[in-house]
Amino acid sequence: MIASEILHFLKEFHQCDIADVSVTGGGSINNCFSYLAKGEKFFLKYNDSRQFPDIIHFDEEGLSAIAATNTIATPSVVACENVGNYEVLVLPFIEQERPGKLFWEQFGQNLAALHFKEAPFYGWQHDNYIGSLHQSNRQQKQYLPFLVQERLQKQIALANRNNSLSEKDNAAFEQLFKQLPDIIPEAQASLVHGDLWSGNFVVGKGQTPYLIDPSIHYSFRETDLAFTYLFGGFHQKFYEAYEESFPLSPGFQERIGIYNLYPLLVHLNLFGNSYLHSIRDVLKKIS
């Protein structure tokens, strides 16, 4: 059930009683519900601010940053507030459809339009989260230092504190860092979703693609595309539409594993050693 303080806030905010409250899917970090107010359906997400400070506010910030580009839809923010010890985010509830060819083509085109807008640096104005882990967004002028220092090395350090990596694993990463200038092409920074797996988009009315739950920052667009392959990949029409709209540099398929070392390390640090085999497979292919 919704915490009583939040229920009171919703009644005051909407100036009416709240009806048809239901638990909805929303991942393992937040409490998520749908409800009706004055006949309109809303989505509610909240969290204990003492456990994950500002995580809900960073979610709102990411949705707003994407929306400001006018390239791809996000749910409009109805409310984002601190209520007692809770952070609360209210969005319109998006009724979902089954994805078809039109959706995947539009999704690819819209994501390409988002990535086409250049950014002034790699990183963000402040740190935020990837899942429930701290994400370092210290600004860098070039992509490779950002990839190594703010993404891979931060998660490697955490994995070593958890005794998850061997000396051989660490040596393999050091070898990879030496090879990266010969592997990764020159990169222009753009706004990226940052956590673009199949659970973080919604198929809205009329096959409209919506992005949700961003881990917002500026980075190389190939990292967003690589993330889509992490758990099996999206529909081929998505990739064809993206490539037609904003062609990738040759050799992208061979770079996917390198980009996905970051989310794999995140999963290693969050969920344990079942992800270690995938990390070692990528490192072995590069060595």
Answer with the residue of higher pLDDT: 197 or 287: 197
Query: Checking DSSP bridges between strand 40-48 and strand 31-37, what pairing results, if any?
Result: antiparallel
267 shares its domain with 198: yes
105 shares its domain with 145: yes
Q: What is the 3-state secondary structure (H, E, C) of the chain?
A: CCCHHHHHHHHHHHCCCCEEEEECCCCCCCEEEEEEECCEEEEEEEEECCCCCCHHHHHHHHHHHHHHCCCCECCCCCEEEEECCEEEEEEECCCCCCCCHHHHHHHHHHHHHHHHCECCCEECCCCEEECCEEECCCCECCHHHHHHHHHHHHHHHHHHHCCCCCHHHHHHHHHHHHHHHHHCCCCCEEEECCCCCHHHEEEEHHHEEEECCCCCEEEEHHHHHHHCCCCCCCCHHHHHHHHHHCCCCCCHHHHHHHHCHHHHHHHHHHHCHHHHHHHHHHHHHHC
* From 59, 195, 213, 224, the catalytic residue: 195
274 shares its domain with 176: yes
Q: What is the pLDDT of residues 62-101, one digit of tens each?
A: 999 999 999 999 999 999 999 999 999 999 999 999 999 9
176 shares its domain with 270: yes
Give the C-alpha distances (Å, rounded to integers) separating 51 from 56, 87, 107, 115, 209.
11, 11, 34, 33, 31
Task: List CB contacts of 9: < 8 A, sequence separation 6 or more.
Answer: 81, 83, 88
142 shares its domain with 167: yes
CB 184 within 8 A of CB 255: yes
Residue-level pLDDT at 123: 98
191 shares its domain with 162: yes
The residue from 92, 118, 135 where one domain ends is 92
pLDDT over threshold 70, residue 145 = yes
Is 224 catalytic? The answer is no
Residue-level pLDDT at 160: 98
205 shares its domain with 105: yes
Q: What is the mean pLDDT of residues 29-52?
A: 95
For all residues of the chain together, what is the average pLDDT? Answer: 96
Residue-level pLDDT at 26: 65
Give percent above pLDDT 90 in the chain: 96
Q: Residue 147 is part of a domain; what is its CATH number?
A: 3.90.1200.10
Tokens found for residue 52: 């994950």
Q: What is the mean pLDDT of residues 143-154?
A: 98
Amino acid letter, residue 88 = V
Split into its structural domains, the chain has a count of 2
Residue-level pLDDT at 27: 62
45 DSSP β-pair partners = 32, 89
45 shares its domain with 150: no
Q: What is the pLDDT of residues 232-246, one digit of tens each?
A: 999 999 999 999 999
Closest listed residue to residue 98, CA positions, set 228, 236, 203, 25: 203
8 shares its domain with 74: yes
Q: What is the mean pLDDT of residues 104-112?
A: 98
Measured distance CA(224)–CA(246) in Å, rounded: 13
Residue-level pLDDT at 188: 94
pLDDT over threshold 90, residue 32 = yes
153 shares its domain with 220: yes
Residue-level pLDDT at 243: 98
Q: Residue 21 is part of a domain; what is its CATH number?
A: 3.30.200.20
Residue-level pLDDT at 247: 97
Task: List CB contacts of 18: < 8 A, sequence separation 6 or more.
Answer: 7, 10, 11, 35, 36, 37
Residue-level pLDDT at 287: 76
The residue from 48, 75, 92 where one domain ends is 92
69 shares its domain with 198: no
Q: What is the mean pLDDT of residues 153-162?
A: 98
196 shares its domain with 243: yes
pTM of the model: 0.96
Domain that holds residue 64: 4-92
The residue from 36, 63, 92 where one domain ends is 92
